[in-house]
Structure 1
Amino acid sequence: MDQTVRQRNLNTGGTASIIAVAVPHFMFNLNGGFDAQWQQAKTELNLAENLTSGNQRTWQLGANITPKFFLHYGQRFQWLIYMPVGFEYYTSTDGEWEYDKMFFSFKPYTNLTFKPSERLSFALTSTCEESMPAALSLMAQRRYIDYRTSISNPYQLEAKINRTIKTALSASYQSVLDMLFGGVTLTHAYSYNSLSNGYDVTDDIIEYIRLPYATSGNIWQGDQTFSKGFFKWNSKISESFTIGSSQNEFYVDDAMHRGRSNYLRANISFTASFARWITFETSNEFSLSKTFTDGIANGNAKHTFTNSTSFVIWPCKQLSLMPTVMYYYNDYSASYRNNTFLNCNIEYSLGNAILSLKCSNLLDCRIFRRYNDNGIIQYSSQYSLRGRTIMLGIRFSIK
């Protein structure tokens, strides 16, 4: 099998001010603008002496006017609203398959900020975004994503606009002198896809195809962050926590299924310089997820753990040692649950020259696996790693 994929993309746009009015605590602007985007995707697939090719080209031209309102009382209260309204012209060509269409475009945005004090602030942001599918995803011809996954648009479905609405409510606290920072954010994102992806399995090949069914997705997520710096050891501790639920729709054999993934992630990191000749850094992340298909749980919850710990040591002014240990754990499978990697870099300065010795994968790990599970499809990727590697180098500084 031999496959070639080429993509080109050209974007341009411009804006001009039509009206601008400013009075105390209020500003109004009316701007006009245009945008243009050209895309081309070409593929050639030689499979079992059967050569197929595609040449998908799209043009998207748009014009809009944008009223903008800004209400403010210094830095304490600010409210910004702008609403781009216009039309977009879209044309697509792939061989003898050609079509064009016009559609209405509306992408409002608002941001409300309130700061009761210098350290505390609240913000509410809501935005609506529009997008058209990439040229490569519209191609009727089959192409391979990897050796076991292909995608195509065999029904030659015309492109339609996709929309996303996102709203976020946040609160933050910061004290620069105390080196104390924290925040909480609640987010909801709704996505509407005018075309969906279905899939089938043939001869151990997962075949994704475009289907003329609209699907939607929702994400509910809460995030919390905290960090504190200390003068002692010039150190800093940081912590973050995320909990959420992701819901998507998918088609299998023309039947719609709903997948849901409930998840949480917790991370804590610490950095310090215990002395002039040694620094330390560590980061630890734990994740937990549980998936559902059509409301039915897919087994037990799965979890992963990741640790990365590194030192920088200067035994003398010219010599530095940088050992790093990385550890990965998952319980998605019975094998290859644990992966440990040990790297070490050594540098020695000799006048204007720096000698370096880079040692990678000193424990000689040869297999690494990654997993993805969204409640509809669960798949794993296995990578063959380069074994123990030692590289010697030299670089010069010219002054």
Structure 2
Amino acid sequence: MTNEHDDLILLTGATGFLGGAVAVELMRQRQGARLLLMVRGADAAGAHARVTSQLRRLGAPEEALRRLRPAQILLASLEQVESIAGDARLARVGVAIHCAAHASFTAHPAMGALNVDASIILARLLQRHAPLRRFVYIGTAMACGNRQAAGSDIPESAALPLDERAHLVTYTHSKAVCELLLRKMAPALPLVVLRPSIVVGHTRLGCAPSASIYWVFRAWRALGASVAELQQKIDVVPVDWCAAAIAAAALRPEWKHDLLHLSAGAQRSCSFADIDAELARAAGESPGAYGILPPERLGELLPRIRERLPDCNPRLMLRALRLYGGFARLGYTFDNRATQEAGIPPPPPLTRYIGLCAQSVAHQPVSQQMAWDFK
């Protein structure tokens, strides 16, 4: 992509899965020299080494990694984001992409400080110190909460529920609150909100960079159980497609959309039955036979977990299945017509690359894959 600007692109979260994929995509589009990566660490050299390792895992070319210098590290954590205020490089930042967040489905006492307060502080700092043209905030499609009917196609709307009881987990509540506060407390911010649905795998690397969420499909298959009907759909996108969409929103000289779902939508979301069929094909097995359990009966799976997933902590697995099962039962898809209007190609359906996901981590036990989401 050609770009008329040579100012800096501040990116947070580059040591994470999605943020790292965004950095790799920007490198692929020959924007690597413009990157200013906000990374936590004791020193720039150590932070640079961590970033380099993550970007290599996500397929960054070695030549691009050699050109990434420690001087492109902005040393700061979300907890102390105000420490960047005196950095002279901010005066060259034209675009910010804020991917960093505490992305956990478990309640964390600092969730609000990390996901809300730090984002507001960062936005205000950049407004004061940077010639900011665009602030791309990475939210989540599930900021919509859980009050819509099961199976709904969720529209893109700036109106989000602030009642924590309208959210399955604290994380999605924090992202909803942050979106609304950015609009309220920084009204002049050139804000673009992008809400990915469920990010699973990579279309070329499978789950080698991260098995986050993928292991849940594998666990349900091993247990022969589900809380969702098999014909119900789940809205999933690959990380590299998501990163390319984020890069488009950040780099295009003209951009008219201030809110987009980055989603498969109703047309490209896959049913659990189709996902299971592809996993079976990858394993050379027959599609699974699933018993559908209501959430209150999931405790009945404990003996089966001990037998079929012996490497896993049974109580932790049961807790995880309750959490993810809550989202699966909603069956939401996320309207992406505005994304298509913006000229962003639709994502491939999960069934097109989940076989690669399976092959890429077939040697890993479920417990190892689960550690991506439950440390």
What band does the TM-score fall into relative to the shorter chain?
under 0.3
Looking at CA atoms only, which structure, 1 or 2, has the larger radius of gyration? Answer: 1
The one of the two structures with greater contact order (alpha-carbon pairs below 8 A, sep at least 6) is 2
Query: Higher helix proportion, which one?
Result: 2
